Amino acid sequence: MTMSNSVLLVLSLLLGIGNYADIRFFFVYGVVDEYRRYDFPSEFVFGAGTSAYQVEGAVQEDGRSLSIWDTFAHSGVPWYNGENGDVAIDGYHKYKEDIELMADTGLEAYRFSISWSRLIPNGRGSINVKGLQFYNDFINRLIAHEPHVTLHHFDLPQILEDEYGGWISRKSVKDFVAYADVCFREFGDRVLHWTTFNEANIFALFGYDYGYSPPGRCSSPFGTNCSKGDSTSEPYLVAHHLLLAHASTVRLYHRKYKAMQQGFIGINVLGFWFEPYTNTTEDVKAAQRANDFYLGWFLNPLVNGDYPEIVKKNAGNRIPTFTKLQLERIKGSFDFLGINHYSTLYVKDNPMSLETDTRDAIADMAVTYKFRTTGGENFPTQFPMAPLSLQKLLNYVKEEYGNPPIYIHENGQKQPHNVTLMDTPRVEYLHAYIGALLDALRNGSNTKGYFVWSFLDLFEATGGFTYGFGLYYVDLDDKEFTRYPKLSAHWYANFLKGNVGPVPIRYTNTRRR
């Protein structure tokens, strides 16, 4: 229904919103259309992010070995359209220029990942000197833009996958902790924010249930292009090992490095916000169940000391159990929690899925996903605008998990690659979600920072180069992989300089190379 102009005008006067456009924005998105950088706490950080495989390229250069993402990208999965990260956007050779762009944009922090297979090509043992030199130089040049480092971003060394099955084996825990130890020792004097795993819940689901991301393990009828794996049990097993590896790594950092380095360590999950499709009791319970399976699967052990009861009940003997000592070490094993958030999913109760004998984690959830779009968004080409979902998600974490320190590690809008530098939908999206974040802070959320995904257009995990999230466009047809600032880069730079959020867009001195 379209609200009349006269009604909008009256409401703008009643609510004290001084701009007619602002009231329309408020009613469509639920957040007021004006704020500045200084409305956020001074210690709050704004940044942007990428990951190693998605930007670096140089996959077999200077001693790097292959990762499971390399193998997966070359396996012929149709959603990559024959593309891969062999060259990606040549970040391995263009990192100095990219750091200059960060300075131009005014980034306060930058989130990136270290390639395990570049630093320790055999997965354990000897350090690759050239890999060490690369990351040392990168971090040294980056230091003005607070480094936030992820240790594992879907890219376990392939050699460990071949040797013992990677994360389906408990052996992965020991090797990961040893790798993390090297990173803390070599880089911890300059890196104060560490994340063990990116989207740990999605890595387990997409990599071992759907087969939609590395290492592409799944079983019929649940996954896509399944040739190996077991969708009914492996996601739970992998998640279990990720939690054990995370807790052991945090324990190592706290005991060996924290006193000297004064850093912080946490883990990252993807947080959809689940809304009931209808207001029925069944759908409301379904939304809570979906939150338990997606967020609670990892956050409940970390905060409360075990998996959610509904997850244990529905998964039965397919989900491993923790020993008493393991639970003691997992509970509280974080200094912060990282959340990636993009949009809302609507769910409807689906009790019939529990009546099948063979179930995966999605069937255990007993929900059916429903999609709703508003305002003409072309989903899935773009995410539907639902900024209140971020506010609700942060409030949920505050209420359910004791208001832990939170970083929004990823938030952004996708658009088809090669469209235009005038990415107005992305500007609208970022402005709305940052406004919702401000509302959440004012309501008591303990959120410490926000990172746009992504700083540059890059090789996306679920679409290759088909679409991009970047503040900067990368010309893939140019052998120099030239970077160009989009409207969103100028908007974000303008915001970080302390100017008013959405308009006017004041173009900064961001370089056009």
Residues with a known catalytic role: 199, 410
DSSP 3-state of 311: helix
What lies within 8 Å, CB to CB, of 201 at 6+ separation is 239, 269, 270, 294, 295, 297, 298
How many Cα neighbours within 13 Å face the side chain of 118? 26
Distance CA 404, CA 332 (A): 10
CA distances to 32, 197, 352, 387, 413 from 343, in Å:
19, 21, 27, 8, 9
CB within 8 Å of 338: residues ≥ 6 apart: 195, 198, 266, 267, 268, 269, 406, 407, 408, 409
Here the tokens at position 282 are: 């069944």
Helix (H, G, I), strand (E, B) or coil at 196: strand
Task: Determine contact, residues 212/224, Cβ cutoff 8 Å.
Answer: yes
| Distance set, CA 20 to CA 10, 34, 368 (Å) | 10, 12, 39
Contacts of 321 (CB under 8 A, 6+ apart): none
Strand ranges inside 85-192, DSSP E: 109-113, 146-152
